[in-house]
Amino acid sequence: MKKLLGVLLIVFVFSGTAFAFAYWDSLEANDNDVTVGIGEGVTLSVNLDQQTDGVLVPSGVVMKTDDVTEVEIEYTVSLDRTDLVSALDLAVVVDNIKINNDTTHAGLVSVTPDNPKSIFNDSEIVTLTITLDMPGDESAYDAVNNQNITFDVTFNATQPE
């Protein structure tokens, strides 16, 4: 009887653990939904490999299967409050660009935010367009070819001046 109770307890514990992981997994926020506190910036670390199935290549190169010349990432930005009486300035700043965890050739990566410049009580869409410039020589090409690109993007909502 004790063995049966022990087995049932183990089964119960493992099924409870699996249920808890499934529950918390379902609560995981979408990485592209950003909630900004007024006057408090939110910084996301972006890994381009996780945003696209393709490989980012410079415009004008001979394309292979799965190559792309630009990647667009769309964020839905909202405020932590929806009772404002006037719009706030919305700033989007991209920095800390790295290729394969190195900044040597980061200047070849262009991340251009297209954002509405202000935000009110409704959410706004911010689109980042990422492109890669043609490396100037073979060593730069070897350093960036098929390498992971990462960067930080900060969203900040402040009172207009």
Provide the domain count of the chain.
2
Q: What is the DSSP string of 17-51?
A: HHHHHHHHHHHPPPTTEEEEBBTB-EEEEEEGGGT
Say whether both 7 and 47 belong to one domain.
no
pLDDT higher than threshold 50 for residue 6: no
Burial 77-91 (b: 16+ CB within 10 A, else e): bbbeeeeeeebbebe
Say whether both 5 and 71 belong to one domain.
no
pTM of the model: 0.76
Say whether both 117 and 47 belong to one domain.
yes
43-52 pLDDT per residue, tens: 999 998 887 7
25-47 pLDDT per residue, tens: 332 335 788 998 888 889 999 99
71-122 pLDDT per residue, tens: 999 999 999 888 889 999 999 999 999 999 999 999 999 999 998 899 998 9
Mean pLDDT of the residues in the chain: 82
Range of 103's domain?
31-158
